[in-house]
A = this chain, B = another copy of it.
Amino acid sequence: MRYAFSPEQHAFGESAADLFAKRCAPGAQRLSWTDDSGRDPALWRGLADLGAPAILVPDEYDGIGGSECDLLPVLEEAGRQAVPDALLEAVFVGPFAIGACGSEDQRRRWLPAIASGESRVTVALSEGGLVPDAHVSDLIVLARDGELWVHEAGEVDLERVHVEDPSRRMFQVTPRTQGELLPASAELRDQVVARELVGSAVVLNGIANHLVSATVAYAKERQQFGRLIGSFQGVKHLLADAYSKVELATTAARAATWRVAAADPEYLASARLARICAVEAEFVANKVALQVHGGIGFTFEHDLQLWLKRGKALEQAHGGRYQVARAAGLDAVESAQRAAYNEEDD
């Protein structure tokens, strides 16, 4: 067993981190808020050059044929740097959905362009839900009547829906045509859902990680009552609590990603568990970060808001906090019943 990233995975994450630092520093991101598109083509080009959208595309369609685990450091880093882009959909859920659920013909038509970055894909798995980054996507995967459908960009009407986080771009998508059905089994659709859940958990863990570390840094420089505020137990204990939760959630998301990639029998349940931990850990980190920053964290000028708002948005996106907890509860009930049945069997 080895929980650490391989040297290649680590290097891949570092390259992505460098790219994000260059293209999406908070200052640059603020400029994008008044921009109509809000998206940086050079960021996408850079990711494509790194091979990010090719990782989950099989070799035979000009992809890299890598593992979900390879993308884990990139998604974590995207959260850590609050990257303003629906990367989760574009490099993780989208390419996998088309590769796993598409027909041979569909794969041949779409995957090579996805792998090269020429064609960008986005996804909305909740029926009627908003679609992130639809305005810069060439292919849009939508859930409808329990199936997955692909729409090409020219065949849909987009209406922008404003959201609290000015870096997010969300759209109501109205297809003008029926689109193409991805002929997937329910099992394959579950595999897509599991990737959304676990990938979303990984991004949230990155956000939470930054919220804690930025707050620790602030607590080491802010003085009140003649002391660094980070020396008060009232502050230390809040941060230790948040940090320890984020650490456990990060481990859980890595393990769940492994199970999802390995098609472990428990992959869907594990993805749900990882997302529950990630949401709860980010929730606490979000609360503590703003509380310890105090007034300064509330100013529009302070960059903390990037992570605060992104975090709150992702707590509710990709499944809903309590909906996922309920599903995980049902998983636990079923698994306990199976265990009891097996014991009787022995």
Contact = CB atoms under 8 A, between A and B. Distances in A.
A343 B157 CA distance: 39
A233 B237 CA distance: 9
Nearest to A235: B233
Contacts of A232: 233
Contacts of A234: 233-234, 237
A252 to B, nearest CB: 25
Dominant SS among interface residues on chain A: helix
A232 B232 CA distance: 9
Interface residues of A, number: 4
How many of these chains are in the complex? 2
A237 B237 CA distance: 10
Interface in A208-259: 232-234, 237
A237 B232 CA distance: 11
A288 to B, nearest CB: 13
Contacts of A233: 232-234, 237
A217 to B, nearest CB: 21
Interface in A155-204: none
Contacts of A237: 233-234, 237
A299 to B, nearest CB: 26
Nearest to A232: B233
A232 B231 CA distance: 12
Interface of A: 232-234, 237
7 contacts: A232-B233, A233-B233, A233-B234, A233-B237, A234-B234, A234-B237, A237-B237
